[in-house]
Amino acid sequence: TGLYARDKEDWRTCDSRGLRPLMMDFKPSMELPLSISRSCLVCGAPTTSAHYGVDACRACTVFYRKARKKKPYACRTITRRCIPSKDGTFACKRCRFDRFERILRQSNGRDAEQPSSSSTPHLQIPDDPPSLAVPIDTPRPRQTPTIGRPLLEQCAICYKMLCVVRRNSELNARPNPPHPSKINAGEYEITPSTYTTMNNACRFFVTAILDTSQMLFPELATFTRDEQWTLAVGYYNRIFMLDAVYRAETVFPDDMNKCLGAYTSYMSVDMADQFFDDCPYENSNTAEAKEVLKKFMGTALPSTRKAIHRANLDETEFDAVLILSFWFADCLQMRDEIGQIAERYRQQVLRELQAHYKEDLKLEDYAARIGELFMLIFNFDRSTDVNEQFEIYRLLGVFTDDTFVYRMCSRPAS
């Protein structure tokens, strides 16, 4: 998210294309002969159809028709500059919608959003454009009652707020922070992570978790401070790497050896030599610490990037993973009331996720996919590996008992 981020693993047992919506409710459209198949101007996928007078595939057209009737989406990266992935899919609904609108304006020679000052009225685009070729006996899907997604929708809002808090905190903590207007526009550099930026970013991240989690889960306000802290720290240890590589799919789609070490800075093997340059402890063995860091990142980054890339999570799935990660194993060691709340939230998010698969993606067999999401959570719960690394850094003198990120990852209950 620089704002580059919100949006894209091995346990995949179903083809990734199976997660695309099956367009069973499309309106009849102009069908082009197969011999003159073109590319969708929105996502770039091959298409033999023309909708709204432009070359747009059915998937993008159905999405656009539905999106026009809903509240405006928020940009996943908050930049309004997201582009389709290599397979022609859009991770950001807002940018997909904007691109469709822009193409329509170019096609019609007008701004579809602003009323015209000209006396000549604009042609209004109907919800169901006329077609030149009407398929015979086109089956109509049976109308089934829809299931709301209040928890997943609220999670999307809270995650966006968490990202904004992290972004603003990190950028304003820089020695020469960007102008506020540039921060708001996403015009800033993603810099290499350092010892100091990582330590500060950890503090900003956990603080944001404490704030936004109470918005998403109101019951947290009744928990003790120690209980809130235990849940927040456990959550941080489970999702910081998941979030780092998930957002890296957007920021560094072609470099599988990088991840976002913080919200506005990256980590890679190449920058390991400079990582400890601002370590404040003179007697620390930074030379050995650099080698330990290189070895860890050389194995952890490519494997986690590949896992996220293969999983190809959509936005709703990512939100579900965030909720499931919060109410995870930590709750088993806490009082019974917290365990009951955790189970209730797990059941609710699974119901909403199943509705997403059935109603939005038109999937009937989604049990394997849900299993993949749980395996993803287990795979990214890297607290044991990170704890071992941080203990080595403490022995080498680059971390002390007072280093915030060390206290977070090595002794989360304190």
DSSP per-residue letters across 324-335: HHHTSGGGGGS-
- Mean pLDDT on 69-91: 69
* DSSP string for 186-242: T----EEP-HHHHHHHHHHHHHHHHHHHHHH-GGGGGS-HHHHHHHHHHHHHHHHHH
Determine the pLDDT at residue 330.
Answer: 61
Average pLDDT over residues 106-132: 43
Residue 40, pLDDT above cutoff 60: yes
Domains along the sequence of the chain with CATH: 29-134 (3.30.50.10), 150-410 (1.10.565.10)
Between residues 132 and 160, the one the model is more confident about: 160
Q: Is the pLDDT of residue 27 over 60?
A: no
Tell me what the mean pLDDT of segment 240-262 comes to: 92
- What pLDDT does 44 receive? 82
pLDDT, one tens digit per residue, over 267-310 is 999 998 899 999 988 888 999 999 999 998 888 888 899 999 99
CA distance 236 to 186: 25
Q: What is the pLDDT of residue 83?
A: 74
> What's the whole-number average pLDDT of the chain?
79
Q: What is the mean pLDDT of residues 330-356?
A: 89
Rounded to whole angstroms, the Cα distance separating 332 from 335 reads 8
Contact 9, 310 (CB under 8 A): yes
Question: For residue 402, what pLDDT is reported?
Answer: 83
d(CA 247, CA 6): 6
φ and ψ of 184, to 5 deg: -65, -35
Nearest to 386 by CA among 279, 280, 240, 286: 240
CA distance 116 to 123: 11
Residue 196 CA to residue 51 CA, distance in Å, equals 52
Residue 16 has pLDDT above 80, yes or no: no
Q: What is the pLDDT of residues 393-408, one digit of tens each?
A: 889 999 888 888 888 7
C-alpha 294/C-alpha 286 separation (Å) is: 12
What is the distance, to the nearest Å, from the Cα of residue 362 to the centroid of all Cα atoms in its chain?
22
Q: What is the pLDDT of residues 160-188, one digit of tens each?
A: 999 999 999 999 999 999 999 999 999 99
Give me the mean pLDDT over the 77-87 stretch: 67
DSSP 8-state assignment for residue 360: I
pTM: 0.64
Q: Residue 129 has what pLDDT? A: 38
Query: According to the model, what pLDDT value does residue 32 have?
Result: 44
* Confidence band for 327, pLDDT divided at 50, 70 and 90: very high
- Percent pLDDT > 90 in the chain is 44
State pLDDT tens for residues 195-212.
999 999 999 999 999 999
Tokens of 183: 């921060």
